[in-house]
A and B are shown apart, each in its own frame.
Chain A
Amino acid sequence: MAGQLREYRGRIKSTKSIQKIFRAMELIATSRIAKARQAVAASSPYARALTRAVSAVATYTDAEHPLLTERENPQRAAVLVVTSDRGMAGAYSSNTLREAERLIVTLRERGVEPVLYVLGRKGVTYFRFRRRDIEASWTGNSESPTYEIADEVGETLVEAFQRGGAEGGVDEIHIVSTRFLSMVTQEPQALRLLPLEVVEGVEAPPSHEVLPLYSFEPDPETVLDALLPRYISARIFNLLLQASASEHAARQRAMKAAGDNADDIIKDFTRLANQARQAEITQEISEIVSGADAMTSAR
């Protein structure tokens, strides 16, 4: 009987200490969401400027660029999967991975061989466990991505794209990441980065605004050549920042739920412990009473 009470008390104690960890992680995640959202906002002038410039070149010249042209017979497609480095973020990583699997299936159905590029430790372990080949991976900065990383990823992908599927490169580039819609909704999405479809996206200039007739220095081809790789890196950077904001939001929610569950468990165990204590006391009393009874009847 006494053993049971001790066990309950031990469980209450350990649950309380885990709860403190949950609480701390929730607070950290909450403060980081704000920071991550600021980073998204701070990077948007750059993205906007690039989008505008690229659409200006694309609209006013008929410059043909390899990054813009659709390949006739795509064989291999890069799939960049953006996941988190750490767990404890609910279904964040598994949602993106599920979306990635869906994309891989559609690619295979089209007869295109998917080539994996993975960001984040969770994605790497997922694919490695399933013995899939990973072409390249980057880990250790899913929580606060820097432009350097985005640029490196962009360069790697563009290089593979320019090599082409026949030479061991790729013919298409797809990205699977998480879009930050609001504090409570984040949604996994798959989008095609290359070849570029006519500059689409949220930041495209409104149609009523007519782009001025630019002169290009030195010439449109060179400008486009310089712009496109940057545009791609900027797109990737933006997606990474959104993904990190989503990761923090998912973690905050998961930790909140875990903390609430810990509360419930503590309540249950406290009740059980009280019951056990009562039972112990009752038993002691009845032992004393029956002992006294035996004494009186023996006399």
Chain B
Amino acid sequence: MSLQVQVVSAEREVWTGEATMVLARTLEGEIGILTGHEPMLAVLAAGEVRVDGVGGAAGITAHVDGGFLSVEHDTVLVVAERARVGERA
């Protein structure tokens, strides 16, 4: 089982793919999301969202300027007005 992750900015879909874990910073603190997480809507703080790839595949780090995160049925949606994605080793 893996998570379906989508990073979306106002002007386009920035990144989409599979992941084992998503680490993000919400207004209340860091949150890590694994498969089977309960449905959730969280407001993100400006900062990085870490996405770990499946089976040792390189993950990504998305820089967001706030926005929100939604989780349902192992689908994670990171939505921010501006989002930038960088490769991570």
Contacts and interface: CB of A to CB of B under 8 A. Distances in A.
A82 B79 CA distance: 27
A216 B11 contact: no
Nearest to A39: B11
Given A217-B27, A222-B43, A230 B81 contact: yes
A213 B68 contact: no
B1 interface: no
Most A Cβ at <10 Å: residue of B38, B40, B43 = B43
A129 interface: no
Nearest to B26: A217
Interface in B1-43: 6, 8-13, 26-28, 31, 38-43
B18 to A, nearest CB: 17
Given A39-B11, A214-B72, A217-B28, A49 B79 contact: yes
Contacts of B12: 42-43, 45
Task: Give the bracket for the number of chain A residues in contact with chain B.
Answer: 20 to 34
Contact of B6 (A45, A146, A213): A45
Interface string B37-65: 01111110000000000000000000000
A53 B72 contact: no
Interface string A200-244: 000000000000111111100011001100100110010000000
Contacts of B82: 147
A173 interface: no
A57 B66 CA distance: 18
Contacts of A57: 41
A147 B65 CA distance: 14
- The size bracket of the interface on B is 20 to 34
A127 interface: no
A182 B48 CA distance: 40
Consensus secondary structure, chain A interface: helix
A50 interface: yes
A56 B41 contact: yes
Contacts of A223: 41-43, 68
Contact of B40 (A46, A50, A214, A230): A214
B10 A215 contact: no
A151 interface: yes
Contacts of A216: 40-42
B88 interface: no
A217 B79 contact: no
A218 B26 CA distance: 8
Closest 3 CB pairs of A and B: A217-B42, A212-B39, A42-B12
Given A46-B79, A214-B70, A230-B67, 12 more contacts: A43-B10, A46-B9, A50-B79, A150-B10, A212-B72, A213-B39, A214-B40, A216-B41, A217-B31, A217-B41, A217-B42, A226-B43
25 contacts: A39-B11, A42-B11, A42-B12, A43-B10, A43-B11, A45-B6, A45-B12, A46-B11, A49-B8, A49-B77, A57-B41, A150-B10, A151-B81, A215-B40, A216-B40, A216-B41, A217-B28, A217-B31, A218-B43, A222-B43, A223-B42, A223-B43, A223-B68, A227-B68, A230-B81
